[in-house]
Amino acid sequence: MYPNLYYAFRDLFGIEITGLRFVNSFGFFVALAFLFSAWVLTMELRRKSQAGLLQYEDTKIKIGEPASSTELITNFLLGFLLGYKIIGAFVVGPADPQAFIFSTDGSWPVGIITGLFFAGLKWYEKNKQKLSKPEERTIRVWPQDRVGDIVVFAAVFGFAGAKVFHNLENWNEFVADPIGSLLSFSGLTFYGGLICASLAIFWYARKHKISLRHLCDAAAPALMLAYAIGRIGCHISGDGDWGIPNKSPKPSFLPDWAWAYTYPNNVISAGVPIPGCEGQYCNQLPEAVYPTAFFETIACMLLFGVLWYFRKKIDIPGRLFALYLVLNGIERFFIEKIRVNTQYDIFGFHPTQAELISSLLVLTGIALWIWMGKMADKNRPIPSTR
């Protein structure tokens, strides 16, 4: 396992870059998931715009003004934080990057230099566009031009929702250490992130008059791809998203780690000490378990292919997203049967949080599929009898 990229580079390339301790493997793949899903979403929104299914929004902007004091101060502060903490982590090379980030430690010189650089860039950018008389212009903004904003909304509200739902699912751990639970980089529940991010994006779409049905259809393949890539980070870092002990015979064509794995050097230090290992991440599970995150990556890559294939064949708006809900719910429901998760006691039944939500997603997807069909029939013009 590679808790962060420092261990990956040391093991794969034989080089040690202390600053890479800051780049958590899980966070790295989450970032890749956002980048690739944003690319897919942009392509789909552009395709729908060119097909006349989405419309632009007129937006007024003022150009030609010099950089204001507020803009310069804001950019300096953002640059300072980036340099003081993020770039400073590579300079200082802390042994525990997580503790470093949430402490007051940092690099003042790097922070000040980076802050001045950001403020200077803003001044140069605005000065280059400065006019003798600033003008107000109206520009057309298409939905694909707003993908950057959509991704930011998804990242902020998705992370917050994933944290909240994880702590609700593991309430005893949260009560024992609320601060540590909230600040930990591990412990994220996908469905919590999906629900909160969806609510935020729905609000944003309505504000900018973007068709929710077409936006959801465009997002369906991107969401499945993002989930698949994110699960790679779960597996590589060993963040606790694994299965129950696997004692079944291994198929001959699979490597050991793809069937049953002990997750050595996992990021949450779960299990028993590894003999001869010294350092922060020196534990492994006492029994080999199902690598469920790896299974989900394979399954969701295939489901992404299914959604990508049907994106032009399903012509009723909203139905591709309905198909996504059903496929995602079925995949997660069945993987829960071999995952380790907190179970609830509901009238003698013992479902997990993910089983409850995935079941609801399947039912919602089926209902949405039917509803979208009825709406299409209702809006379809009646043929003339003349």
Rounded CA separation 5/8 (Å)? 5
Report whether pLDDT(372) > 90.
yes
Provide the pLDDT for residue 93: 64
pLDDT tens per residue across span 220-276:
999 999 999 999 999 999 988 899 999 999 999 999 999 999 999 998 889 999 999
pLDDT at 349: 72
The span from the CA of 318 to the CA of 232, in Å, is 29
Cα-to-chain-centroid distance, residue 85: 22
Q: What angle do CA 253, 238, 289 make, to 5 degrees?
A: 50
What tens digit of pLDDT does each residue of 48-95 get? 999 999 999 999 888 889 999 999 999 999 999 888 887 777 676 666
Distance of CA 89 to the CA centre of its chain: 23
Instruction: Determine the average pLDDT of the residues in 349-371.
Output: 89
Is it the case that residue 30 has pLDDT exceeding 90? no
Domain boundaries, the chain: 5-56+142-379, 62-138
Percent of the chain clearing pLDDT 90 (strictly above): 56
Residue-wise pLDDT tens digits, 165-178: 767 766 677 667 77
Once rounded to an integer, what is the mean pLDDT over residues 8-17?
90
Mean pLDDT for the chain? 87
- Percentage above 70 pLDDT, the chain: 88
pLDDT of residue 4: 87
* pLDDT value at residue 95: 63
Say whether pLDDT at 193 is over 90: no
Q: How far apart are CA 349 and CA 195, in angstroms?
A: 24
